[in-house]
Amino acid sequence: MKHQYVSAAGAALVLALGVSGCAGNVGSSGGGESGAGTGVEYGASPEEYQAALEDMEPVTLTYQGGGASAESGSGRAELAFAQRVEELTGGKVRFEMAWGQAVAPFDEVTEAVADGRIDIGVEIPIYTPSKYEAIGDLISLSPSTPTSPYLTEVATTAANLETAWDTPEVVENYEAMGVTVLRPMFFETSNVLMCTEPVTSAADFRGRQIRVGSASDFTLVEALDASPVSMQFTEAYEALQRNTIDCTLGGLRIGSDYGFLEVAPHVTVPQDGSWGRNPTAIVAGPGYERLPLAAKQAIFDSFGMFLGDGLTAMIGSSAVSVNMVEDNGGEVRRLDDDAESAFHGAVDELRAEVEASEALDGAAAATSFAENYEKWVALAEESGIEGEDDYTAFAAAWESDPVDFGPFGERMYEEIYLPRRPE
């Protein structure tokens, strides 16, 4: 297996790729035709981009990502992206960064992009499921793939992204709202259950108050006789601290970044399946659509070139989180058999609901996702990625020998992104 330490730029970009979910198709499925002007080949030098944009007037675009500030992990990632675009375009494209949802909250970003208050923004579709029915149904398939430190995570991320682009109703969902979709759905890693005390058996779950973030979360939690509590993840720390809730669902990195693991260090994951994955999306508006072709390509390529490093850093953040679990007296545990049985009943229910969906061709989407997942597991293994089920062993090994996801990231770019590059 090939290994390397992730570059500083790549480590920064992970949050833009994961939490902010940036990049995607700007050629074949946007809200308008690609901009005028001459394009360049992927991998072109800055000089070639700049020559193509010689006659372009400088523009400044508003970019609202996921960062609370310029100093946050997401903020550093988004600044790295902005700097790269500026370098490629010779300063013809600059970004005015909006931190901490200063222009619009996560559940109103699409509207703000459509009316031009934001040019490029991060949306979290699960917060307003009524606006994203097709996307919500596709999310409901994610609990069907296993939770592990990395192999199944990167395979699921790739499989879902490919399935989303190949599901017309998902893309149309955004376009109907008057925006160009740059990335329809991007998972980071599986959600885990973070609790103030161990919760693994059917008896442990009974009556627990568990913070959820999506409709599929409700189904999973209710199947275990627990009580789902709907709230945004930013409110979970205080609720856990005050014992208003017993547990919260979310990614490990979110647990460490937002302090959940300090007060809820007892982590539970299913034996075979996941608590689901919550995606982000990137949408763009009129200011983006007016850009010349080479400027759109610069934005697309700036995200794509960091994909492998981004995946490496994304998984590395899980290793840091596992160490935090242990530092706070917790442990990563699997569901007991009785709880696992109830969990799988809910997973089957979610798949049946998707297959009967009126918002998309659910049967086709379910089949496509399953096939894409198997495809990407195989491609990950071809890239030298070996599976690991023990989180403690994974975290210990990562410190001295982190897995290199570069070859897998390149394959992901070639299979999913490059065919959709603006042209």
Cα(326)–Cα(390) distance, integer angstroms: 14
Residue 271, token pair as written in the block:
């034996």
Q: What angle do CA 199, 203, 204 make, to 5 degrees?
A: 20
Q: Which CATH superfamily is domain 8-416 in?
A: Bacterial extracellular solute-binding protein, family 7 (3.40.190.170)
- The full DSSP string for 234-270 is GGHHHHHHTTS-SEEEEEHHHHHHTTHHHH--EEEE-
Q: Along the 423 residues of the chain, how does pLDDT read in single tens digits?
A: 333 323 333 333 433 433 333 333 333 333 334 467 899 998 899 999 999 999 999 999 999 988 778 876 567 778 888 999 999 999 999 999 999 889 999 889 999 999 999 999 999 888 888 899 999 899 999 999 999 999 999 999 999 999 999 999 999 999 999 999 888 888 878 999 999 999 999 999 999 999 998 889 999 999 999 999 998 888 999 999 999 999 999 999 889 888 999 999 999 999 999 999 888 888 999 999 999 999 999 998 887 766 777 788 778 889 999 999 999 999 999 999 999 999 999 999 999 999 999 999 999 999 999 999 999 999 999 988 988 899 999 999 998 889 888 889 889 888 998 888 988
* Torsion sign over Cα 275, 334, 73, 152: negative
Q: In the chain, what are the domain boundaries?
A: 8-416
- The full DSSP string for 150-180 is SHHHHHHHHHHHHHHHT-HHHHHHHHTTT-E
Neighbours of 106 (CB within 10 A): 20
Nearest Cα neighbor of 193 from 213, 177, 166, 168 is 213
What DSSP character marks residue 116?
T
Residue 354, token pair as written in the block:
């998707």
By CB neighbour count within 10 A (0-12 exposed, 13-18 middle, 19+ buried), where does 195 fall?
buried
Q: What angle do CA 365, 29, 59 make, to 5 degrees?
A: 140
CB 282 within 8 A of CB 122: yes
Cα(316)–Cα(310) distance, integer angstroms: 10
Neighbours of 91 (CB within 10 A): 12
Residue 88, token pair as written in the block:
């490629």
